[in-house]
Amino acid sequence: MSTTPQLRWKPTPDNIEHCHLHRYMQWLEQEKGLHFDNYHDLWEWSAREIGAFWESQWEYFQVISHMPYRQVLQGKEMPDYQWFEGATLNYAEHIFRQKNAAQPAIIFQNERQPLTEISWAELERQTAALARYFRKCGIQPGDRIAAYLPNSPHAIVAVLAAMSIGAVWSSCSPDFGAASVADRFVQIEPKILIAVDGYAYGGKSFDKRETVHELCGLLPTVRQVVFIPYLDENATFETEDKEVAFWNELVENQEDAALTFLPVPFSHPLWVLYSSGTTGIPKAITHSHGGNLLEHLKYTHLHNDIHAGERFFWFSTTGWMMWNFTLASMLAGATIVLYDGSPGYPDLNVLWEMAEKTEIQHYGTSAPFLVSCMKAGHEPGKQFDLSRLRSIGSTGSPLPPEAFAWVYENVKSDVWLCSMAGGTDVCTAWVGGNPLLPVYQGEIQCRCLGCAMESWDENGRPVPVGEVGEMVVTQPMPSMPVFFWNDADGSKYRSSYFDTFPGMWRHGDWIQITERDSLVILGRSDATLNRQGVRIGTAEIYRALDTIPEIKDSLIINLEYADGTDWMPLFVTLVPGFILTEDLKKRINTTLRSTYSPRHVPDAILEIPDVPYTISGKKMETPVKKILQRKPLEKAYNRDSMRNPEAMAFFIDMAAGTA
């Protein structure tokens, strides 16, 4: 039996008494006669009796349905299930039922402008005006509206306007190049493109008008362009074959527009998100109004414990699903806090300072950001008043134990640290926070309600508690995609999740379920290090390396050869001022050997200029492996899917023998 990690947080009786999850359990007992002694028993029921569980969510959150559903669930095998057929609803309607004159709807800051607030009344007015423009343009339910926007209030207004009329939303952030945006938007054939003139990041301004011109040429179905002078309020834009409307003209002085909500079927497309597209065209993952609504009501209330009037922040861009999730917090009556810019400009304190100024209760970020703060020796808890901060959320990659310790020692000793994991695939978290359970260092608190997750071996059998296996979901969830766009026969959808274990969702992560029923994620299973027959998750390597202060970032792969041998190189970038000495290499190897095993020790340690990342912030282990296996570059990786495409040059040269 493994050693129990250090206990870092546990709920107080007051926490428990006032959390949504406790109240839901009381409601189940009073209304349904269902008593559960603890969260695990509740989870077991929710994962086994999925129809009864999701129907209870519908009733508990009082979903506004304009037509009743005929039955909760029908179907025989994933992905061929239908949820709440007959029901008609609208996601945006559930957000605006939370409007409150006593608090702002949005608080916003970017690198060039101070904090500003937008009231619920102003949000409603602008949303109604833009929705009217969409209807005037002939947009019908199911038509697509594409957005090339930063994380600003414009994007929130636009997505709510699209939702309200049953249009399908899709967005990319303006740091994407024209080709990568076109790879995504061409698939869905949008009729309207909403775009900015540029953006600021890291103290620099980036004019994107030429990119928008390129997009107009690459998106023949676009008939209207809504142009936002964001970087320069005097910016202009013209294009030959498309009507151009300016944002301010559409939303200002439009007092007579009334916001209405078109009821749409439960499975009606809500938005299209995209896979990272590291080796090909990104998959256009389509989510439904009802599926995301029900899932987001569940997670924001029961797992994130967001209360009306609280302030919710997650550092994100419009190209990452956490932007959609930030919007979802408004379902719980939260004020959303948006930031557009670099989290490290002018330094790593910019977002902690904003947390103080805006009195954020729920602060969301990525694991790499917390690790960066840790390595830089920052002490936000001493520098800023974070007394209102209740929770810190982390996702994007596994959060190492040392980062847990840093948060509790340097941010806030009694904060609820919610490490979570999910994905674009379901636009939520499979595993994450729980206000009723303790937080153990290095572990995710629980499997989420309604998520029938198990850890399986390669033969499709659950592995013993404490062992590592494939993350598999054995029962359908409403927030699973309704389809992939341009995948008429469903073959892309099926091959993405259901090929390995037919009828079961294989997510592609290594996961360990502990005897405490908490979880540890050990990285992507498609980037597995198969070392002399032993599978090693890359997250284990990175977790150990995060304890070495000289290492800024790292990437590891294992190359298997036809003769049965293999070679496992470790690539590192160093904190400025340090060099890769033999002593540092020795400390790296000793750390990996003593923390895990001799099999974790790499065959070589090489310094690189930069670790390659996807635009959504994932390390590109598999594409690097394909490059070093000398596979054709066009099949090894997709340059347009990358945040830093120049980082691949080292590996390309290495494969060619010139590095």
pLDDT of res. 89? 98
Note the pTM of the prediction, 2 decimals: 0.89
Alpha-carbon Rg for the chain, nearest whole angstrom, is 24
What confidence tens digit (pLDDT) does each residue in 583-620 have? 999 999 999 988 887 888 999 999 999 999 988 788 99
Residue 230: CB atoms within 10 A of its CB come to 23
The stretch 317-332 carries a mean pLDDT of: 96
Q: E strands within 281-353?
A: 284-288, 311-314, 335-340
Which residue has 């050869």 as its token pair?
A: 561
> CA-CA distances (angstroms) from residue 265 to 74, 82, 301, 322, 332?
15, 11, 24, 25, 22
Structure confidence at residue 1 (pLDDT): 47
Print the SS3 string covering 504-559.
Answer: CEEEEEEEEECCCCCEEEEEEHHHCEEECCEEECHHHHHHHHCCCCCEEEEEECCE
Q: Is residue 50 scored above 80 in pLDDT? A: yes
**Contact criterion met (CB below 8 Å) for 538 and 618:** no
Alpha-carbon span 478 to 73, nearest angstrom: 9
Measure the CA–CA gap between 221 and 511, rounded to whole angstroms: 43
Give the model confidence (pLDDT) of 473-521 as tens digits. 999 999 999 999 999 999 999 999 999 999 999 998 889 999 999 999 9
Q: Would you list the domain boundaries of the chain?
A: 525-656
- Whole-number percent of the chain with pLDDT over 90: 82
Could you tell me the CA-to-CA distances from 527 to 300, 400, 626, 636 in Å, in that order? 31, 18, 11, 14
Q: Which of 275-279, 358-362, 376-380, 539-543 has the lowest mean pLDDT?
A: 275-279
Of 82-86, 290-294, 505-509, the poorest mean pLDDT is in 505-509
pLDDT, tens only, 104-147: 999 999 999 999 999 999 999 999 999 999 999 999 999 999 99
Of the candidates 158, 166, 145, 142, the residue with the CA atom closest to the CA atom of residue 260:
166
pLDDT in tens, 195-241: 999 999 999 999 999 999 999 999 999 999 999 999 999 999 999 88
The per-residue pLDDT for 537 is 77
* pLDDT band, residue 279 (cuts 50/70/90): low
Residue with tokens 């400009």: 345
> Residue 34 above 90 pLDDT?
yes
The average pLDDT across 149-163 equals 98
Q: What is the pLDDT of residues 627-659, one digit of tens each?
A: 998 989 988 898 888 889 999 999 999 999 875
Distance CA 4, CA 226 (A): 55
Beta bridge partners of 455: 471
Tell me the average pLDDT of the chain.
Answer: 94
CA pair distance 457, 472, nearest whole angstrom: 10
CATH of 525-656, picked from 3.30.300.30, 3.20.20.70, 3.40.50.150, 3.40.50.300, is: 3.30.300.30
Residue 41 — very low, low, confident or very high, per pLDDT cuts 50/70/90? very high
372 against 390, higher pLDDT = 390
Give the DSSP H/E element, type plus range, for residue 88.
strand 88-89
pLDDT digits (tens, 9 = 90+) for 419-457: 999 989 999 999 999 999 999 999 999 999 999 999 999
Q: What is the pLDDT of residue 413?
A: 97
Residue with tokens 């006593």, as numbered in its chain: 102
